[in-house]
Amino acid sequence: MSLKTFFSEQARNPSGLFGRVVMSAIFDRGNSIINGLMEEKLAVNENERILEIGFGTGKLICKIAKRLTGGTIEGIDLSPTMVAIAQKRNLKHIKEGKVIVRQGDFGEAEYRESSFDKICSANTIYFWSNPVNYIDKIYRILKPGGDLILAFEDKAQLEMRSLSKNVFKFYSLDEIGNLLSHNGFPGSIKYASREKESQIFHCVVATKMPSRSERGNHE
């Protein structure tokens, strides 16, 4: 396995000593800007039910949990290594019932329809084997009026790095917008970007619009 492929696979699914030590440090430092942008766009309400797909070390989950009183935040991550780190970091919140973390593939996990107020994910869409199926599932388990918040790095800067295109799929801001608008989120998408030291990070907020009957029930 080449170094490029090894690092790319570790970014997708951290494992072993390298995942536990090196990738966890990279995630905590390297994701600070993008997680900050995503947290800002989440605009957390203390009673919401939130899901994070691919939570890494669980740092953002911990920050959000501190703001919840009657709400909960769940997380699912492919990596057992990251789950162990996130469980340790969030032990207090897990015992309080505010945090639930699980290991697994979101595409295969079971969730009730219309069960989350918000769903978020940072730096994971590159690895979604079937993004249309993922977005369709997210749409189904979001409550009407709920938000999907996706954060990711600019396509051009990712293409400049030594990353395997067999592991990563790069997306531009427009490509993400089109993907969402054609799969359940038309006309309900907002964009935000943040730049630091020539690095560009994007965040897309897509709202699940209530159906006509649901809107009628609230009028």
pLDDT one-digit tens code per residue, 72-117: 999 999 999 999 999 999 999 999 999 999 999 999 999 999 999 9
Q: What is the pLDDT of residues 3-57, one digit of tens each?
A: 999 999 999 999 999 999 999 999 998 888 999 999 999 999 999 999 999 999 9
What is the residue-wise DSSP string for 29-79? Answer: HHTHHHHHHHHHHH---TT-EEEEES-TTSHHHHHHHTT-SS-EEEEEES-
| 21, 49, 137, 144, 148 from 141: Cα distances, Å | 34, 11, 6, 9, 11
pLDDT at 218 over 60: no
The whole-number pLDDT of residue 115 equals: 96
Percent with pLDDT over 90 in the chain: 87
pLDDT tier at 211, thresholds 50, 70, 90: low
Do the strands 142-153 and 189-196 form a parallel or antiparallel pair, or are they unpaired?
unpaired
Average pLDDT over residues 55-69: 95
Tokens describing residue 19: 């995942």
pLDDT at 203 over 90: yes
